[in-house]
Structure 1
């Protein structure tokens, strides 16, 4: 059996690609998503394509009881979670002055507090076993800022800082905590940008030194590496996978 790995927000997009990449590397995967049907479909595909164990569960990471229940169900089905990928995230692309309190609360609740909540739910077990990998999907928006994504940028900056501080606390227990920052990637989130301004979308693509928007499959290998035994001496780091758009 491979490492038991949980990936939040893995019913589609980057999360789906991460789950598939980890399954291809031999991980048993818990596909966690607010859309339970999508999670179940992805999990079934992983079993069929890669011959690993997988489960798909509906979970809202803003719900503490739901998170606790999901961790219990994964543990019962696959075993204790050894690798956690906090991928679930939301955004609303618009000028900050046009955004609302409700939108702020949702973005902070999912991107920052959700990441913290799921991490806390698996941490004791990892510490007890003295092995664990926590990989948070952040964003270069949290390092350099992004127009139209002010609160989102704030949450991703918070995820990066949270990861660095946690990495210091848990390193002595054999755990690593790292961030991966995808660049502009062909997902539903980026579709928001195209709907807001096709000109801005096209300009972003041209700004990438590799002259293309990334794909979810471009992101997954970085997570597979950080989840591996070979990354055991890498912690507290933030890796951009952006085609060179941001070199921070």
Structure 2
């Protein structure tokens, strides 16, 4: 939950949060709306995506809308962006949260699971940046926030393929941050460890010992809460973070340290 000092930080801003029909993305959509932003919720499940958009509006009093589609496909991203521009005339904040890799030992991956992991995590982000940035350049303002993964740094078990995708999600911000600084656009990554919620619970049901290993490397002794990630997104999206760009910021309970 946002503190009173964070409320209305984003008054008048328009945000897209990809992959926001559940988990971290849903928490981010709520957090941005609580801070005053108008939010587009996206997902691939029509009923759930529409329901979350309505829930965000009811909880926060902010205007919301939703888009349903596979954002690894350029035509869907183009349609998403056009919907936002048609309705709200601008895009101030892009949160690239869509993801969901297939977590398996590397040699148990198949060509299909490898492609799925890259599509869901890397192509969704690339197409979204590519289609949103022209509008941010035109308005001379923008905040791009990618949701990465602490596993890129700590080499978490069964995450090699996932890290190949998330490594690109991390790496792009140094280039975007430098290239678009002159346009008052920042680009950063927030990298969480294991995050408490439905997805971690699914892995826990399949292999509780593996999840214990994930948690045991976090000195805080638990996974991140979605709201903790959302609070960091709100900060980077706000004018308190105007001089932060090209950075990977770990919100990880100490699982890796510098």
Q: TM-score w.r.t. structure 1 length? A: 0.96
Q: Which residue number corresponds to residue 85 of structure 2?
A: 75
Give distance in 2, aligned partners of 1:118 and 1:84: 8
Q: 1:192 deviation in Å? A: 4.2
Any unmatched runs of 5+ in structure 1? none
Where 1:115 maps in the other structure, the secondary structure is: helix
Where 1:56 maps in the other structure, the secondary structure is: strand
Q: 1:46 deviation in Å? A: 1.8
Residues 222, 214 of structure 1: CA spacing in aligned structure 2 closer, same or farther, 3 A cutoff?
A: same
Aligned pairs for 1:37-186 within 5 A: 37-186=47-196
> How many matched pairs?
248
Give distance in 2, aligned partners of 1:45 and 1:77: 20
Where 1:6 maps in the other structure, the secondary structure is: strand
Give distance in 2, aligned partners of 1:45 and 1:190: 23
Q: Give the 4+ runs in structure 1 shifted more than 4 A.
A: none
Give distance in 1, aligned partners of 2:74 and 2:83: 14
Give distance in 2, aligned partners of 1:109 and 1:213: 25
Mean alpha-carbon deviation: is it higher for 9-18 or for 181-190? 181-190
2:24 pairs, out of 8, 14, 24, with 14
1:237 equivalent in alignment to 2:254: no
C-alpha RMSD over aligned residues: 1.3
Where 1:81 maps in the other structure, the secondary structure is: coil
Q: TM-score w.r.t. structure 2 length? A: 0.92
Q: Which residue number corresponds to residue 8 of structure 2?
A: none
Q: Which residue number corresponds to residue 39 of structure 2?
A: 29
